[in-house]
Amino acid sequence: MENNEHRIDKTEKAIFIKGLYKSFGDLHVLTDVNLDVYKGENVVVLGKSGTGKSVLIKILVGLLKPDSGYVEVLGKVVDKLNQKELDALRLHIGFAFQSSALYDSMSVRQNLEFPLVMNYKNLSKGEVNDSVEEVLEAVGLTDKMNQMPSDLSGGQRKRIGIARTLILKPKIMLYDEPTSGLDPITCIEINELINEVKEKYNTSSIIITHDLTCAKETGDRVAMLLDGAFIKTGTFEEVFTENEDERIKSFYNYNFIK
């Protein structure tokens, strides 16, 4: 990945997590999780299924409350917010779903317009149209505006899902398995798009993936989540080629990377 270190503002933390614990009965999912995500930084979260990656994301957006610990997003302590404050915070957080989560009964244009008109009632038709055109151009699909999701390829659906998230101009992007189920060429295109989004919109991102190529190409840093905690955080090379931890070696060897 091209080194975009100069765009990362290490004086400002978009996400700050310290001493986070979360259990469900006797199941201890997160145990002493600590993570910083700086403004303008892509952090990839890697881990086996069931290690708590999805639980972590739900806590970040206030869908779950931590048992203990401190979680701050864009300067707000998430579990201390009331519903109105939480809704306001969520407007600044974009979530790109693994399934793209498009409405099949709506055209691409309607899918993109929907979050705008739901959250900003006073926008003119021209302002809405300008926003739709801007995000479609950002993801390289201006010619798909009037098509239905069923007419799109898997990669195109992923791009439209990202465009729908970008239309609210979020400060934070959360990507859930962005390359899952895609062919190798489309994976490369999605990885490039994730980096382009960061550069154009100056977003701070958490990217959850099992795809080590995605991790290497998009992550300014990689955080390895095992046994409920981050056991290693650093650049891809620091985590995988400068490490003797057998758990990390096993994860690397199991997940093929070119």
pLDDT value, residue 2: 44
Query: In this structure, is residue 206 part of a structural domain?
Result: yes
Rounded to 5°, the CA angle 64-121-92 comes to: 35
Task: Output the tens digit of pLDDT for each of the chain's 258 residues.
Answer: 444 445 788 889 999 999 999 999 999 999 999 999 999 999 999 988 777 888 999 999 999 999 999 999 999 999 999 999 999 999 999 998 777 789 999 999 999 999 999 999 889 999 999 999 999 999 999 999 999 999 999 899 999 999 999 999 999 999 999 998 889 999 999 999 999 999 999 999 999 998 999 999 999 999 999 888 999 999 999 999 877 788 888 888 877 554
Query: In this structure, is residue 152 part of a structural domain?
Result: no
- Can you read off the two tokens belonging to residue 78? 């998430």
Query: In this structure, is residue 212 part of a structural domain?
Result: yes
What is the C-alpha R_g of the chain? Answer: 18
Query: In this structure, is residue 174 part of a structural domain?
Result: yes
Position 177, amino acid = E
Query: In this structure, is residue 149 part of a structural domain?
Result: no
pLDDT value, residue 100: 74
The SS3 call for residue 96 is strand
The residues, any chain, with a CB within 8 Å of residue 78's CB and separated by 6 or more, are: 59, 60, 61, 62, 71, 72, 86, 89
Report in angstroms the alpha-carbon separations of 78 from 40, 57, 91.
20, 12, 14
Structural domain that includes position 73: 5-92+170-254
The answer to whether residues 191 and 217 touch, using CB atoms and an 8 Å cutoff, is yes
pLDDT value, residue 78: 97
DSSP codes joined into one string, 94-116: EEE-TT----TTS-HHHHHHHHH
Its pTM stands at 0.90
How many domains does the chain fold into? 1
Residue recorded with tokens 């010619």: 143
Position 20, amino acid = L
Query: In this structure, is residue 70 part of a structural domain?
Result: yes
Query: In this structure, is residue 82 part of a structural domain?
Result: yes
Q: What is the CATH number of the domain that holds 66?
A: 3.40.50.300
pLDDT value, residue 1: 44
Query: In this structure, is residue 227 part of a structural domain?
Result: yes
